[in-house]
A and B are shown apart, each in its own frame.
Chain A
Amino acid sequence: MLRLFIFSLVISFSPLIMAQEGFTVLFLGDSLTEGLGLETDQAFPNLIDERLKTEGYNNISIINAGISGSTSASALERMQWYVRSRPDLVILSLGANDGLRGLDVDNMKINLAETIEFAQSNGIKVALTGMLTPPNMGEEYTTSFAQVFPDLATEYNLDFMPFLLQDVAGIPELNQADGIHPNIEGSRIVADHVYNFLLPLIP
C-alpha cells in the first residue's frame, strides 16, 4: 500500500508524466524501438516525431519506451508504468528478443495478450507490429513464432503491421554490422513504414 502511495506521489510531481494535451503515442518495444547503435534522434519513433512536427501535427506527442534486450515478459509491467502518462495509442513492438533467444512461443503470446488486454481495459488503443525470427532457428519455430502476431491482431481486433523490419531485414546495406539492427538508412525506412501505418490511427 505504502509502495503504491509513494509511487503515485512520484508520478504526480513529474511533469513529463502528467496527462498531456492532444494525442500521445507510446512506442513500447525493444532495441529496435530504442534505436540501439544509433543516436537518440535517429531511432524510428523519434524520426516519426520529427516528421509529424514538420508536417504540422503539433498536438501529437511521442514516447519512446524501447528497452534493449527486453522480452515480451516485461511488457505488462511496463505498460502499467506508462498508463499513468495517459497514452492514447500504444504501438506494441515486442517479441524480437523472445525469438532470438528461442523462448517459448505460447508464452510470448500470453505475455502480449495480457498487455493488450490491460491497455484496452484502460481505454488505450493498441496497434501491433509483427516480427520474424531468423531462419537458422529452424522452420517449425520460425513459422509458429511469426504466426503469433496476426493471430493476436485478429483475436483482439488490432491494427496490424505485418513486419516491423519490412524492406530492411537481411539487407546488409541497411543494417549495422551486427546484421540485425537497422542503421540510419534502415531506420528511416522503418520510420516511413510505421509513419504510414500510424497516420490513419491518429484522429
Chain B
Amino acid sequence: MLWLKLAFKEISNNFRFSLFFIINLSIGLIGFIALDSFKNSIDAHLTNNSRAILTADAQISGNAPLTEIEFTLADDIFNAEYEFSDQISFLSMVAANDASRMSQLIGIDATYPQYGEFVLQEGGILTDELRQQLFSGNSIWVAESLMLTLGLSIGDSIKIGAMDYTITDMIEIDPSSTISVMSNFPAIYMGLEQIQATGLIQLGSRINYSRFYKFNEDVNMDTWEDDFRQAELEILGDTRRISMTTHQERSEDLGRILAYMNDYLGLIALIALFLAGVGAAYLFRSFFTSRFKDMAILMCLGGTPKQAYLMTLIQIVLLGSISAIIASSISFVTMPVLPMLFESFLPRGFVNEMELSSFILALFLGTIGSVICCLPILSKIYDLHPIALFHEKIQPSKSLPHWKRHTMSYAPILIVFWFLAIWQSSSVLIGSLFIASFLAAIFILGLVAWYILKYCGSFSNHSNVTQKLALRNLNRNRMGAISCFLAIGLGSLLINLIPQIEKGLQEEISQPDDFSVPDFFMFDIQPDQLEGLEAILASYGHNLAFVSPQVRARMESINDGIVDDFEETPDEQMQRRRSVNLTYQDKLKSSEELVEGEEWDGPWVFGSDDLPGISLELDFSERINAKVGDVISFDVQSVPISGRVMNLRTVDWNSFQPNFFISFQPGVLDPAPKTFIAAVSNVPEEQHLSIQNEIVEELPNISIINVGQLVASILDITNQISWGIKVMAYLAIFAGLVVLYSIARYEVKSRFWEINLLKILGANFKDVRNIVQIEFGILGFFAAFVGVSLSLLISYAISWFIFDSIWKISWSITAFSIVAITALSVLTALAATMSVLKQKPLQLLRAD
C-alpha cells in the first residue's frame, strides 16, 4: 500500500512528465483505435454490399430442379441455422407492340430479397403486401429498359410464352443487377408459381433453379465453395451439376484490392504498435533517468530493488491505464462523428462501427504494452546502488546487467511483438519475417552508427573548435549516441515504410492516364461489322475505343515440347483443350508495361530470318513456363503458326481495357478469322438505351454489355480505398514525427549537464547552439538516411511477399522523410537547448 501511495505521489510530483507521457500515449492509442475500428467498419460495409449484390449470404443453383440430395449437401457444409428463399429464372423472348426482346424471367417467393433494397417505381421499397399482389393473378414487374424498348407503361401487357401478363409496376432498383452479366437482359419478376405456369419449362428448356440462404449468425464461409465442390464430386460424381456461391466470392472483382487493403491496414497497425513501443520506451527512459536519484535515496532508506521495481511498475501501469481510458473515451465520442466529417469521401451508408475489442486491445496495449516496452530500462534498477548519490551526474550503470536479466527483460518485447505481428498479418511466415527484418534493421543501424561515430573522432582533428567539440562529443559518448541513432533510424524506417507501400498500391489501384470509364463492352464484332458499328456510334458522337482483334487458337508446343502442363488456367475447359485467345498489336497499351525483353519494331515481314514476335503476360509466362527467346507453336484454326517470345509484360487489370495473355507481332494473324472486342466510353446515361437498341437492331450478333454501372461502383470503392490508404499513410507519418520529437527532446535533456558545463567554461550561446546543431544534424541526417534506405528495402520485400510485387519508389516522400526528420531532430534539439541556455548555470547545478 505504501508503495502504491508513493507511486501516486511520484506521478503527481512529476506532473509535467506525467502529462506528456499520457498525452503521447493517448494520441498513439487513439490512432490505434481509429485504425482498428476503421478496418472493422470497412469490413462490415463491404460485407453488407456484397450481401446485397447476391441478395443473400450464400446460394446454390443448378439447371435441374433442386432436390433433397442437393439441400442435404449444402446443409452439411453450412452447419448453421438459416432462412431460405427459392428462385427460378431463365431467358425467354417476350413480345409486345409487335416487337420482341430477350428478357430474363425471374420467379421469386415471399422472402425475396434477403438482403439489399428492391425498389419499385410506384410501390416503393418491397413489402409483403406488394409481394402478395405480385403472386395473385398474372402480374409482373418489369425493368425500365424493357419498358422503354418495347414502348410499354404500367398497366400494359406482355406476351410471355403463350400467355399475357400485366405489368403492375416498374423496377427502379434491383440489387442483384449490379454485378451479373446475365442482367444484360432486362429482368421481369413474377411469382414462383406464376413462372412455373408459363408453360416454358419443358423438356430441353434451360432453366436455372436457385436457393438463397440467410444465416442467423456470423459464419465463416471462406472454404464453402471448395468444400461444396468436393462433396459434390464425392456424392454426385460431377462438380458442374450445381454450384455454390457465397456473397464473398460474388464480388470477386474487388477481392484482390480488398485483400490488399486489409493487409495494408494490418501492416499499419503493426507499424503503429512498433512506433508506440519505441516512443513509450523512450519517454519512460527519460522519466526513469530523472528519477534515479530519488530511487537511490529510497534504497538508502532501506528499500530493496524489488520494492523500487514494484513502485515503478505501478507507476507505468497507472499512467498506461489513464492513457488508455482517456484514449477510449475520446474515441468513443469522436469515432461515430468522424464519418459525418468525411461524408463526401465515404461510401453511402458507411457506419463507423465501434468494436469492444478495439477498446480492450487499447487497454491491453496501454498497460501491459507499456510495461513490456519499459522492462529493459526497469531491469536497470537492479544495478542501482546508493553510491550513485555521490556521482555528480547520476546515470544508470554503464556496465551491462546480468545477462539472464538482460535477456529476460528483452524477451517479452520480442515475444509479444512477434505474436502481434503474426496476428496482424494473419501469417506466421510474414509476421516472423517482419520481426526478423526489424531485428536486422536494428543490427544494420547499430553497425552503421558505430562506424560513423568512429569516423567522427578521426575527422575532428581537421575541424575548428566547435566542430571538434561536437564531433568528439559524438565519438566519446558513443553508446548514448548509438541508441539515439537507433531510435531515430527506426523511427525513420517506420515512417517511410507506409507511404512507400502506399505509393505502390496507389499505382496499382489507379487507372492509366488515358483512362475513361467504359460504358459498354462489345464482343463478337465481326471484321465487316466494325465500320457499321463505328457509324452508329459516330451518329451519337462517340468512338470505339480499345478495339482489339481476338483470334482463337490452340497452343501446341513450347520449344517443341508438348504443352501438357497448362495449369491454373481459370477455365478448366481452356486448360484441357489448350485453347487460347490471341491478339496482335503494334505496341503496348497504356495498361501494359514491359518487364523483360524488347518491343517489336513494326510488323513482321514474311521471309525474315526470325520468327514473328510474341509478347506474354508475366504471370501467364510463369504458368506455362516460357521465357524470352522461347518458341511457341500454335494451331490457328488449322494453320500452324510459330512465334518467338520477344518480351514479357505486366497488365494493369484494373484498367478496364481488353487485355490478352498472348499478343503477336502484327503481320501474322491479320488474315486469320477473328472477332473484335471494343469499348465505348463517356456515353451519357440518356443515350444508353437507344445506342443499345440500335446496335441490337442493326448488328444483332454483337454482344453489348452495359458495364458503366458496374465499373462506376468498382471505381467508387477503389477510390474510397485509395483515400483510406492515403489518410492512413499521413497518420503514420504524423504519429512517427510525434515519437521522434520526444526522442530528440529526451536526448538533449540528457545533455543538460554538458551544456551547462560548456556555459560555465565560457562558451557563448552561439557556440553551444552550433555544437548541438552539428551533433543532431549528423545524428538526424545519417540515422534518417540509413533508416529510410532500409525502409525502401523492407517495403520492397513486403510488396514482394504480400502485395504481388507491386512496388514503386516514391522519391518525393523519401526525400521529404530525410529532410523532415533531420530538421525535426535539429529543431527539437535547438528548442530544448534554448530552454537550457536561458536558465542560470547555478540553477542547473542545483537541478539534478
Contacts of B94 in A (CB 8 A): 138
With beta carbons under 8 angstroms apart, the residue of B63, B90, B701 that contacts A72 is B701
With beta carbons under 8 angstroms apart, the residue of B200, B206, B607 that contacts A180 is B206
Q: Are A137 and B700 in contact (CB under 8 A)?
A: no
Measured CB to CB, the nearest residue on chain A to B202 is A135
With beta carbons under 8 angstroms apart, the residue of B93, B639, B670 that contacts A3 is B670
| Number of residues of chain B lying within 8 A (CB) of chain A | 53
Measured CB to CB, the nearest residue on chain B to A16 is B638
A81–B671 Cα distance when bound, in Å, is 8
Q: Are B93 and A10 in contact (CB under 8 A)?
A: no
Interface-side segment among A95-103, A115-123, A185-193 = A95-103
Contact digits for A72-93, partner B, Cβ 8 Å, 1 yes 0 no? 1110011011100100000000
Q: Are B701 and A98 in contact (CB under 8 A)?
A: yes
Whether A184 is near chain B, meaning CB under 8 Å from some CB there, is no
Whether B240 is near chain A, meaning CB under 8 Å from some CB there, is yes
With beta carbons under 8 angstroms apart, the residue of A16, A34, A37, A102 that contacts B91 is A102
Q: Are A136 and B703 in contact (CB under 8 A)?
A: no
Measured CB to CB, the nearest residue on chain A to B675 is A74
Known: A135-B202, A136-B205, A177-B238. A10 touches B701 (CB 8 A): no
Q: Are A107 and B700 in contact (CB under 8 A)?
A: yes
Contacts of A148 in B (CB 8 A): none
Question: How many residue pairs at the A-B interface have CB separations less than 8 Å?
Answer: 134
Q: Are B100 and A140 in contact (CB under 8 A)?
A: yes
Q: Are B205 and A17 in contact (CB under 8 A)?
A: no
Interface-side segment among A52-60, A63-71, A152-160, A194-202 = A63-71
Q: Are B639 and A178 in contact (CB under 8 A)?
A: no
Contact digits for B608-643, partner A, Cβ 8 Å, 1 yes 0 no? 000000000000000000000000000001111100
Whether B9 is near chain A, meaning CB under 8 Å from some CB there, is no
Known: A9-B606, A176-B240, A179-B206. A17 touches B638 (CB 8 A): yes
A196–B200 Cα distance when bound, in Å, is 33
Q: Are B701 and A71 in contact (CB under 8 A)?
A: yes
Q: Are A10 and B526 in contact (CB under 8 A)?
A: no
Whether A162 is near chain B, meaning CB under 8 Å from some CB there, is no
With beta carbons under 8 angstroms apart, the residue of A10, A36, A73, A78 that contacts B668 is A10
Whether A22 is near chain B, meaning CB under 8 Å from some CB there, is no
| Number of residues of chain A lying within 8 A (CB) of chain B | 57
Q: Are A137 and B638 in contact (CB under 8 A)?
A: no
Q: Are A77 and B92 in contact (CB under 8 A)?
A: no
Known: A10-B606, A85-B638. A73 touches B524 (CB 8 A): yes
Measured CB to CB, the nearest residue on chain A to B703 is A101
Contacts of A151 in B (CB 8 A): none
A169–B202 Cα distance when bound, in Å, is 12
Q: Are B207 and A136 in contact (CB under 8 A)?
A: yes
Measured CB to CB, the nearest residue on chain A to B572 is A37
Q: Are A36 and B200 in contact (CB under 8 A)?
A: no
Q: Are B639 and A140 in contact (CB under 8 A)?
A: no
Contact digits for B239-258, partner A, Cβ 8 Å, 1 yes 0 no? 11100000000000000000
Q: Are A71 and B638 in contact (CB under 8 A)?
A: no
With beta carbons under 8 angstroms apart, the residue of B90, B202, B207, B573 that contacts A37 is B573
Q: Which residues of B from 549 to 570 have beta carbons under 8 Å from A?
A: 552
Contact digits for B641-673, partner A, Cβ 8 Å, 1 yes 0 no? 100000000000000000000000001101111
Known: A6-B667, A101-B102, A170-B204. A178 touches B63 (CB 8 A): yes
A178–B238 Cα distance when bound, in Å, is 11
Q: How far is the CB of B572 from chain A (nearest CB, A)?
A: 9
A107–B697 Cα distance when bound, in Å, is 10
Measured CB to CB, the nearest residue on chain B to A84 is B639
Whether B396 is near chain A, meaning CB under 8 Å from some CB there, is no
Whether B527 is near chain A, meaning CB under 8 Å from some CB there, is yes
Give 17 A-B contacts (CB < 8 Å), ordered by A residue: A6-B667, A9-B607, A10-B671, A11-B639, A15-B640, A16-B638, A68-B579, A73-B526, A73-B529, A74-B524, A77-B527, A103-B701, A104-B700, A136-B92, A136-B202, A137-B200, A141-B93
A interface list, Cβ under 8 A from B:
3-4, 6-7, 9-11, 14-17, 34-37, 39-40, 63, 65, 67-69, 71-74, 77-78, 80-82, 85, 98, 100-104, 107, 111, 132, 134-141, 169-170, 172, 176-180
